[in-house]
A and B are shown apart, each in its own frame.
Chain A
Amino acid sequence: MSTAALHAEHDSHHHDHKESFISKYVFSMDHKMISRQFLITGIIMGLVGMGMSLLFRLQLAWPDEQFGILETLLGKWGKDGKIDPNFYMGLVTIHGTIMVFYVLTAGLSGTFSNLLIPLQLGARDMASPFMNMLSYWFFFLSSAVLLTSIFVETGPASAGWTVYPPLSALEKAVPGSGLGMTLWLVAIALFIVSSLLGGINYISTVLNMRTKGMSMNRMPLTIWAFFFTAILGVLSFPVLLGAALFLIFDRSFGTSFYLSDIYLEGVGALENIGGSPVLYQHLFWFLGHPEVYIILMPALGITSEVISTNARKPIFGYTAMIISLMGISILSFIVWGHHMFITGMNPFLGSVFMILTLIIAVPSAVKAFNYLATLWRGNLRFTPAMLFSIGLVSFFISGGLTGIYLGNAAMDIQLHDSYFVVAHFHLVMGSAAIFGMFAGIYHWFPKMFGKMMNNTLGYFHFWFTFISAYLVFFPMHFMGLAGVPRRYYQFTLVKEFDVWMDVNKLITIAAIMGGMAQVFFLWNFFYSIFKGKKATQNPWESNTLEWTTPVEGIHGNWPGEIPTVYRGPHEYSRPDRESDFFPQHLPDETAPVTAPQEGEQTAPTEVVPQETVESSVFFAAIKRVLGLS
């Protein structure tokens, strides 16, 4: 008997046990509950992060204005209605940290990997439900520590989300480098533990716990994306742990790994020297660049699934999508130097990083064109999830194009640390990933909560968010080209930047509009959890396995046996069938949609086509890409 089957049996014995409130809602080991915990924590963190961005946008748009409310809200950090410059840096830092790690890493891949990996693969739960629970609670603890750091007397960490030393290593440098920075490091260490526990679980579940017939080349693209994301996380976060370890020692134990000679008024300012701050950047960006794809790839996977379902077409180039994900994953580990072109890097090394960076445009373009080709002449159903997915494609293209500019060392030297960079990454990884997350929420809300969300509110949410995101980030390209640097508190003393005052106001107004648009979402989300229309079994007429589970979501996922899979996940509008979808679990012989799930186990194994041999999928794909088959 296989271990997986043992495990499944073990679980199915469990699902009728009476569970206490604590074991059901708090220390739950059910992957669906854990995904809900991740999602709601992520939404709360997202609101905090967004609120912070609105605060510093106020400062940028009206630097000389006094807002009485800020003093009420922020106390000493908002004296006389103006945000304190140190606190401004803290806001920027914590906004970045929250959005990158807490919302778009844990909130996005934590939520949907947990929800979809077992459901779409046909597993009773994760490989280790206990580690899964630990993963959430480490994340929770980490969020709590980070939020606490906002309230310490010296303010939160304020060296930017990348916390470069020496600014972050020396307590004297800025107030935020005191206790706030220590708490930041503790929070990130806890976060790394959480992400490791989660990632190990996701990979083993994908490799080991698939149902019968679910070979690798029949997995939905969401799962492929989560799989590669988890691999990236497992391999890159430990390096951040190493980097953070040295930083902790530099800060608290007198070592000097990142501290080199710093002179103030001709005198060496530090007792301990001999290290190199650039090394921190190398270690940080070895995580930092894969992290960008850890954020983006789950969103791309969700988009593949949503677009294919709602265009009622097979995804264009299923294997090309997998290979491009794999290409992005591999390349993401060897391009970190493009964040460091201006550190005095050897120009030859710079060109190597530049070439490797530009190669990423190839798999990215494959994905973009595949999305467009899937949409092309599709039978489009504009659900809110579909709109958000199309929005993602739009951001992915418009933000990705500027990536080609920034990947060029010669361009980057001019554009580095300007608003052009801010515009680039907010479009391509910020907005695109958050749109992927929204698409996922709208699409799988019926699966998560057994209720439907309101479509009209979804449309309002989409259009306001979409328009405001472009209004916020598009003008920033021009500011960056003109040389306006990022992370500055105010520009009133620089005459040349006066012309950008109106643009800054426009951006802030658009940002406030975008912020308010989230009220549509929040209302829709929380209202629908309790009072939403009850979901039907398969509301989007989708092929994948998660829609065969009971709507109310039981422990162990399937009441009886786990369905067997007979084909790939994207068989929509097959000409030989009446209905325009063909769920993965229906054997070829049976009648279409209405066929009962029983009797699948008796289906002959010859139905499984020969090309499910794992190793052949890649060769077949390469052949297909080259046009050889």
Chain B
Amino acid sequence: MSNHSEAVFEKQPMWAGGRSPFNVSYGKLMMWIFLLSDAFTFSSLLIQYGAQRFSNVQNAVTTKWPDPASIFNHFPFMHGLHLPLLFVSVMTFILILSSVTMVLAVEAGHRNSKKEVERYMIYTILGGVAFLSCQAWEWATFIHEGARLDGNFFGITKEGYAHLGSVHFGSHFEWDKAVDRTNGPVPFAALFFIVTGFHGFHVFSGVVINVVMYIMTVRGTFERRGHYEMIEKAGLYWHFVDLVWVFVFTFFYLI
């Protein structure tokens, strides 16, 4: 795997107990198993999305499902402009960048370079916080437009595309449940909140973990230990969260 792993585990021709079969420590193995398990949790959420999504397809051409490009078209300080998916692309870019800095931190850890680990962990934490802030803004906008857990008025009706949100955006919007609920598939907004919320919770946990890792690095815990494996484990988690976002992004914004 890496210099570090080779340093920790002496090579033997054949594994017969007492040593790791995959040349990973049990801690890293546990993280992998946890991530596998977590992948199944996210799968169950995305399967729920898929089931709702595809049961709302009337035929190949017309669909009742709202068009994400028309809903997620806002950008901070660019009021009123139609900028489809621009903001979420920026979010995604930030998260992927933070994954890159995480890789750099792990790599610096292999070289036992404490200063560099600290620097890249700070960048990673900043990236995570930036992503969470973006998500907060996106949620706030979406809620402001009238999205609720218990109903949805985004969608396509017989009369054509109904997207009250941008019409009423910014005004004192009163959402009449009884009238508007017929417009779109009800679970649309609820799914958005639950799935991105669950992912956001993971990002939040990741930021907390990264902060802890940063503090431990600054205090020299890993330096004394002689290796930065904890950074690697946190990195595994962080990359997983990033990977899941790619799926969430694809499902909610692109399909």
Contacts and interface: CB of A to CB of B under 8 A. Distances in A.
Interface of A: 1-5, 7, 121-122, 127-128, 131, 196, 199-201, 203-205, 207-216, 234-239, 241-243, 245-246, 249, 253-257, 271-276, 279, 282-283, 286, 565, 608, 612-614
B143 interface: no
Given A2-B8, A257-B187, A272-B186, A201 B30 contact: yes
A496 to B, nearest CB: 39
A168 B125 CA distance: 41
A273 B40 contact: no
Nearest to A250: B190
B194 A234 contact: no
B60 interface: no
Interface in B133-154: 148-151
B21 A241 contact: no
Nearest to B41: A238
Interface in B38-52: 38, 40-41, 43-45, 47-48, 51-52
B219 to A, nearest CB: 21
B29 interface: yes
* Most chain A CB inside 10 Å of its own CB: which residue of B36, B38, B40: B40
Interface of B: 8-10, 14-22, 24-27, 29-30, 33-34, 36-38, 40-41, 43-45, 47-48, 51-52, 55, 148-151, 177, 185-187, 190-191, 194, 198
28 contacts: A3-B26, A4-B19, A4-B26, A127-B26, A131-B30, A204-B33, A210-B18, A211-B17, A211-B18, A212-B18, A214-B16, A214-B17, A215-B16, A234-B37, A235-B37, A239-B40, A242-B45, A242-B48, A243-B44, A255-B149, A256-B187, A271-B150, A271-B177, A273-B186, A274-B52, A276-B52, A283-B47, A608-B16
B194 A2 contact: no
B38 A215 contact: no
Nearest to B19: A2
B20 A208 contact: yes
A276 B17 contact: no
Contacts of A275: 52, 186-187
* Most chain B CB inside 10 Å of its own CB: which residue of A131, A209, A274, A275: A274
Contacts, number: 158
A238 B44 contact: yes
Contacts of A203: 29, 33
Contacts of A212: 16-18
Nearest to A126: B26
Contact of B150 (A5, A121, A255): A255
Contacts of B16: 212-215, 608, 612
Contacts of A235: 36-37, 40
Given A3-B26, A4-B18, A214-B17, 9 more contacts: A200-B30, A208-B24, A209-B26, A215-B16, A239-B41, A249-B190, A254-B150, A256-B186, A271-B177
Contacts of B185: 274
A249 B29 contact: no
Given A3-B25, A241-B41, A255 B190 contact: yes
Nearest to A259: B186
A495 to B, nearest CB: 43
Q: Ordered nearest first, which 4 A-B pairs have the shortest CB separation?
A: A242-B44, A254-B150, A274-B186, A210-B17
A519 to B, nearest CB: 40
Contacts of B36: 234-235
Contacts of A122: 17
Contacts of B30: 127-128, 131, 200-201, 204
A216 to B, nearest CB: 8
Nearest to B51: A279
Contacts of B149: 249, 253-255
A483 to B, nearest CB: 33
A288 to B, nearest CB: 13
A234 B36 CA distance: 8
Contacts of B148: 254
Given A2-B18, A256-B187, A256-B190, A239 B44 contact: yes
Nearest to A243: B44
Contacts of B45: 242, 245
Contacts of B27: 3, 127-128
A391 B149 CA distance: 52
Contacts of A242: 41, 43-45, 48
B192 to A, nearest CB: 11
A334 to B, nearest CB: 14
A610 to B, nearest CB: 9
A216 B41 CA distance: 29
A362 B147 CA distance: 52
A276 B51 contact: yes
Contact of B34 (A3, A7, A200, A272): A200
Contacts of A127: 26-27, 29-30
Contacts of B15: 215, 614
Given A241-B41, A246-B48, A274-B185, A208 B21 contact: yes
Contact of A208 (B10, B26, B187, B190): B26
Contacts of A237: 37
A591 B10 CA distance: 33
Given A205-B26, A283-B47, A256 B150 contact: yes
Nearest to B56: A274
A329 B201 CA distance: 31
Contacts of A257: 48, 52, 187, 190-191
A128 B38 CA distance: 19
A9 to B, nearest CB: 13
A420 B20 CA distance: 47
Contacts of A234: 33, 36-37
B150 A2 contact: no
A210 B19 CA distance: 7
Contacts of A200: 30, 33-34, 37
A253 B150 contact: yes
Nearest to B39: A238
Contacts of B43: 239, 242
B46 to A, nearest CB: 9
A196 B19 contact: no
Contacts of A2: 8-10, 18-20
Contacts of B34: 196, 200
Nearest to B184: A274
B130 to A, nearest CB: 27
Contacts of B22: 207
Contacts of B151: 272
B48 to A, nearest CB: 6
Contacts of B48: 242, 246, 257, 279, 283
A209 B21 CA distance: 10
B147 to A, nearest CB: 12
Nearest to B33: A200
A221 B9 CA distance: 28
Nearest to A216: B21
Nearest to B189: A255
